[in-house]
Amino acid sequence: MYVSSSLHKWGHRHCYFRETMSSRRLQLNAQNDYVVINNGVVEITWTNPGGIIRGIKFKGIDNLLELNNKDLNGGFWDLNWSKAGSEKTRGKFDTIQGTDLQVIVENEEQIELSFTRMWNPAVQDEQAPLYIDRRFVVFRDVPGFYSYAIFEHTKDMPAFNLNTTRIAFMLNKEKFHYMVITDGRQRFMPSAEDRLPGRGEPLAYPEAVLLVDPVEPEFKGEVDDKYQYSLENKDNQVHGWICFDPPVGFWQITPSNEFRTGGPFKQDLTSHVNPTTLAIFLTSHYAGTDLLVKFEPREEWKKVLGPVFTYFNSASDKEMALSLWDDAKRQMNEEVQSWPYSFPTSNEFPNCGQRCVVRGRMLVQDRYLSKENLPGKDAYVGLAAPGDAGSWQRENKGYQFWTTTDEDGYFVITNVRAGSYNLYGLVHGFIGDYKYEVVITITEGSDIELGEVVYEPPRDGPTLWEIGIPDRSAAEFYIPDPNPKYVNKLYINQDKFRQYGLWERYADLYPDNDLVYTVGVSDFQKDWFFAQVNRKIGDNAYQSTTWQIKFNIDNMDQVGAYTLRVALAAANHAELQVRINDPTADPPLLSSGEIGGDNAIARHAIHGIYWLFTVTIPSSVLLGGENTIFLTQAKTANAFQGIMYDYIRLEGPSFQNGSL
């Protein structure tokens, strides 16, 4: 696919790009209103001093970017912000326009530009109160560029909420039609025009549109929704678009998650119709207001976002265009191996020698499963700001560093910034969250050995029965086929939960009575609907649903208490109520109050924020023989209030010796 007459390398680790070596020098042309860098492979044009990318010339295409959209054009950093006290996840959009340009580095191999914007109190209603320094780094003969930013809130700035920060690219609509998210999630995409009135019919929310008269008939009857293409942070490393004539790829590569919020399972947008490609740094998507970054008056905060790499590649023959994805994955892996980069000149970005290592071994102690500690294999272990167990999924101001354990529970967390952290963990097959109680203070260049850390997951007695798999997801439960009117063809044979309108299918399957699950008879893969949602009973009118779990207790313990564990994979403005044997008991044994705002049901996810509830059941409310647990989702304002269960377990009274 490539001419490989030379290799270009830089950084403390080698990172190679296979391209024809150009005889041209790295050129910088700065004028009053624009600045251009030509590195022999690609030519990039920014506004000066705004720092908006207006042109990317590559491999015979005059501009990879679109400049004729009604609203958003080119490539840009932007943010969304609200005034202090707001509980809304969307406020004012602020396309970040620099007020000053500085050339930080200029030599034969590298140019680094800095577009800065000071905060101006005179326009505080139109501009987020932050000092912002956006950097762009271009290397000679490298088909792409790096970008990072330093955001700073100083003590003279007012309080506010930072809702979203990202880099967005609006790609050439005439050239890019094929989108790639993963090996299995790639396809030709409808056009932006197909979403307009007359060609598209808006559905339950603006992002979802039914294509009724698309330009290309093959898309007729499909639903287009950008949320159908989301990924978890841990998997969101490379995505983009392919042009077939000429065969060119446009890719967004994120080599590290340290600067993203919400941990490895936080989900966010990737690429979508327009065509658009995003590098997301922070949003409240799939989490809600917990991930709004709320600044207090006089609060001092600084964070480096990135660097990320925008990569371009090409093939010699359009028949090989799809193989550009394989090359993009190769490049992504090289970028990951090269992290942390050595080239950023900002002192706020620590280099490899300033980074730290934390290592240890995670064990699991559950005496009802084993007399010996079990290795915490395939667990996720991470460092995040000090807080409560599980607080990492709501943490939004600091850096996070995660890894997975091996078969024996050993872990090594590398490239950690100096600072103070708690160690957190979660183990597949066990409920709850681990937290190492001692705050770990990490200094530059240190290598810390924690030894064995032992997680004791919540448990008061032996398992009498269980529903689901404790994996923080509802994927193992029954996911229905979509309404044939609302299909995305990409998800007919994979990830069915990404189809539009599945919440409406509950009433189709249970038109009169709610779900009843009988322990020992029912199969959670077939008989437990993936989401407990409201039943529509009229125009904008909904009814709460109550699910039942029927089970037998043959040998009733009249003294000890029983324990019900209810783990939720998602909750959206919901209230879970739990009752035993009396569906009208007031008060219920558990009322969660209104919880969650992850909107996972509407946004085609199979999980959002994780919740765990423990319900103590006095033996006096249980019966010898058949019993029924009633699970009510009580909030009924709209179709998207509901919950997804992860796992439910009933434990008997504890053994006298508390173990096997």
What digits encode the pLDDT tens for the residues 42-91?
999 999 999 999 999 999 999 999 999 999 999 999 999 999 999 999 99
Distances (CA, A) of 248 to 5, 313, 325: 20, 6, 10
Largest CA distance in the chain: 87
pLDDT band at 556; cut points 50, 70, 90 = confident
pLDDT digits (tens, 9 = 90+) for 487-513: 999 999 999 999 999 999 999 999 999
The per-residue b/e assignment along 23-47, b for 16 or more CB within 10 angstroms, e otherwise, is eeebeeeeeeeebbbbbbbbbbbbb
What per-residue string of b and e applies to 510-535 under the rule 16 or more CB within 10 Å gives b?
Answer: eeeebbebebeebebeeebbbbbbbb
Distance CA 36, CA 410 (A): 49
511 CB contacts (<8 Å, ≥6 apart)?
A: none
Helix or strand or coil: residue 197? strand
Q: Are strands 532-533 and 642-651 parallel, antiparallel or unpaired?
A: antiparallel
Output the pLDDT for position 18.
38
Query: If we measure between CA atoms, which residue out of 242, 257, 65, 247 comes closest to residue 168?
Result: 65
- Look up residue 329 and give its DSSP letter: H
Read off the pLDDT of residues 581-616 as tens digits, 9 standing for 90 and up: 999 999 999 999 999 999 999 999 999 999 999 999
Q: How far apart are CA 600 and CA 475, in angstroms?
A: 13
Question: What pLDDT score was predicted for residue 23?
Answer: 52
Determine the pLDDT at residue 189: 98
Report if pTM > 0.85.
yes
Average pLDDT of the chain, as a whole number: 94
